[in-house]
């Protein structure tokens, strides 16, 4: 049955007192065809970043090609085998010192999505390059409300250097708008929620914040408009709208609970930003859910998520690792430290599996968000004890790539070749990227 009614404007929003709310992508927005007939649904890009490298012995599969045995670190990804490709051997030659001081984190982290050698400075004269995600955001133009969404768990370090001779701007994030402007990472879920569903008016922003603190709901103000719109939609679109509103309300309630939590006696003397969960697990899952919600609503098609800032010293008592992550990464081949570091690596991979799970279970027409999303997961190092930036732990996922395979390229092949091939999968006609020598042929076999 073909849609004959006047198509719904893609910019349609739900409106209420002091707020607006974007809509998910609906069949009613596609005139003259059923969703099943649409092959070219929006393509999306997501990047998941873990800090402080990876124990490659626990990450690298023993065999190449399809049907490889999942290693201890990769095992959480088994349910998504058909949509993941593990790529080993890629590196960033531009993260080498090249005469600069020996500070690997300050060069490797910004090179991850840019493929460039950054200027060594602790001052404001930082210089990197535009990152791959921002190239795609520019390509999309004003197709969405937000060009991109950069989320993380750790608050940014704003002053001085975070690595020897390198500004904290180089390790706070992985996304760069241009060579001198890094994209800020948002760590407070309440800030993200208000950014997604705000209309930009200062007075309304204050009103919405006060409303959240009263434990009421932004969604309450748009329900009349939602009910009116629902009556104009087909059954599939009504299901999608209800699913979207339910997910939004559930996330909002979790943010409200986080803002109301006391945080224990230790928080009594600290100034805690409202909406930051006490639990690392809840914080990570909440931020992932917000990123998925932003894609579901087509508020943005480009996003990144840092489960930790580079040089993170977070401890993980919940998995019996009370030691600092960064300190463990300099393991000195100590077996006990290696075991603990591998445990952290797997823990982060479990959250990446949750990321994929949320995208796979969120419907997009007759498929899922994951079917039309290119997902890149990695770290700026292989073995962090050596600051090995020439053998990175990379997983590429989603329906745009050929899954169930381990690809081992020649060690040191520039990761810029993968980033260039990714841009081509996203229909960006780039001739080169970073220090690329050509698109990674293996990724192109989608």
Query: What pLDDT is recorded for position 267?
Result: 34
pLDDT surpasses 60 at 196 = yes
Q: Are strands 394-397 and 84-91 parallel, antiparallel or unpaired?
A: antiparallel
Say what the pLDDT of residue 199 is.
Answer: 46
CB-CB contact of 415 with 393 (8 Å): no
The position carrying tokens 């921002």 is: 134
pLDDT recorded at residue 341: 97
Question: Is residue 95 classed as helix, strand or coil in its secondary structure?
Answer: helix
Instruction: Tell me what the mean pLDDT of segment 31-55 comes to.
Output: 77
**Level-2 CATH architecture, domain 44-187+278-446:** 3-Layer(aba) Sandwich (3.40)
Q: What is the mean pLDDT of residues 362-371?
A: 89
Question: Which residue, 202, 236, 195, is CA-closest to 218?
Answer: 195
Which pTM does this prediction carry?
0.82
Mean pLDDT for the chain overall: 84
Residues 6+ apart with CB under 8 A from 39: none
Alpha-carbon torsion, ordered 15, 207, 240, 12, to 10 deg:
30
Contacts of 328 (CB under 8 A, 6+ apart): 321, 337, 340, 341, 344
Ranges of CATH 3.40.720.10 domains, the chain? 44-187+278-446
Residue 381 DSSP label: -
d(CA 78, CA 62): 15
pLDDT of residue 109 exceeding 80: yes
Residue that is written with structure tokens 């006990």 in the block: 336
CB-based contact 85:407 (threshold 8 Å): yes
DSSP 243-308: HHHHHHHHHHHHHHHHHH----GGGTTS-PPTT--S-HHHHHHHHHHHHHHHHHTTS-SEEEEESS
Question: For residue 221, what pLDDT is reported?
Answer: 53
Closest C-alpha to 195, from 22, 364, 363, 49: 22
Angle between helices 235-260 and 189-197 (to 10 degrees): 140
pLDDT value, residue 103: 76
Provide the strand spans (E) within 53-114: 84-91
In tens, the pLDDT along 379-415 reads: 999 999 999 999 999 999 999 999 999 999 999 899 9
Q: How confident is the model at residue 237 (pLDDT cuts 50, 70, 90)?
A: confident
What letter would DSSP give residue 29?
G
353 close to 76: Cβ distance less than 8 angstroms? yes
Reported as half-sphere exposure (CB side, CA atoms, 13 A), residue 127 has a value of 4
pLDDT confidence of residue 203: 38
What average pLDDT score do residues 37-66 get? Answer: 90
- pLDDT, one tens digit per residue, over 125-166 is 999 999 999 999 999 998 888 999 999 999 887 666 788 899
- Pick the closest to residue 259 from 191, 180, 179, 176 (CA basis): 191
Q: pLDDT of 301-329, one tens digit each?
A: 999 999 999 999 999 999 999 999 999 99
Between 299 and 222, the higher pLDDT residue: 299
436 token code pair: 């690329």
Cβ atoms of 405 and 86 closer than 8 Å: yes
CB 349 within 8 Å of CB 73: yes
Res. 37 pLDDT band, cuts 50 70 90 = very low
């Amino acid at each position: 049955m073909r849609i004959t009614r006047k198509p719904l404007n893609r910019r349609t929003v739900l409106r209420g007192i002091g707020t607006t709310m974007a809509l998910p992508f609906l069949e009613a927005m596609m005139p003259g065809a059923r969703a099943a007939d649409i092959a070219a649904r929006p393509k999306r890009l997501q990047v998941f970043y873990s800090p402080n490298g990876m124990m490659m012995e626990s990450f690298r599969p023993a065999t190449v090609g399809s049907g490889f045995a999942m290693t201890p670190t990769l095992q959480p990804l088994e349910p998504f085998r058909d949509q993941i490709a593990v790529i080993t051997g890629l590196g960033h030659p531009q993260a080498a010192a090249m005469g600069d001081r020996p500070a690997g984190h300050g060069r490797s982290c910004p090179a991850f999505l840019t493929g460039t050698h950054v200027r060594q400075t602790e001052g404001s004269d930082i210089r990197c390059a535009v990152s791959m995600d921002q190239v795609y955001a520019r390509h999309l133009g004003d197709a969405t409300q937000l060009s991109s969404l950069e989320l993380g768990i750790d608050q940014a370090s704003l002053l001085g250097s975070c690595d020897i001779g390198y500004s904290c701007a180089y390790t706070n994030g992985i996304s760069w708008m241009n060579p001198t402007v890094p994209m800020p990472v948002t760590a407070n879920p309440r800030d993200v929620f208000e950014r997604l569903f705000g209309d930009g008016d200062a007075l309304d922003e204050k009103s919405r914040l006060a409303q959240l603190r009263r434990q009421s709901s932004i969604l309450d103000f748009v329900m009349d408009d939602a009910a009116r719109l629902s009556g104009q939609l087909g059954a599939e679109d009504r299901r999608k709208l209800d699913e979207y509103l339910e997910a939004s309300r559930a996330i909002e309630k979790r943010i409200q609970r986080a803002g109301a939590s006391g945080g224990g006696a230790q928080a009594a003397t600290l100034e805690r930003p409202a909406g930051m969960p006490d639990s690392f697990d809840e914080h990570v899952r909440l931020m992932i859910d917000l990123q998925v919600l932003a894609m579901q609503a087509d508020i943005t098609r480009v996003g990144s998520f840092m489960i930790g800032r580079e040089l993170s010293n977070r401890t993980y008592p919940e998995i019996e690792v009370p030691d600092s992550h960064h300190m463990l990464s300099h393991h000195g081949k100590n077996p006990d430290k290696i075991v603990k570091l591998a445990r952290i690596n797997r823990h982060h991979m479990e959250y990446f599996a949750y990321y994929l799970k949320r995208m796979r279970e969120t419907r997009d027409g007759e498929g899922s968000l994951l079917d039309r999303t290119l997902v890149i997961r990695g770290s700026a190092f292989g073995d962090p004890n050596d600051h090995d930036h020439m053998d990175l732990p990379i997983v590429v996922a989603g329906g745009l790539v050929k899954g169930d395979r381990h690809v081992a390229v020649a060690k040191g092949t520039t990761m810029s070749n993968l980033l260039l091939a990714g841009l081509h999968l996203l229909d960006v006609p780039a001739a080169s990227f970073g220090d690329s020598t050509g698109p990674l042929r293996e990724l192109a076999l989608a």
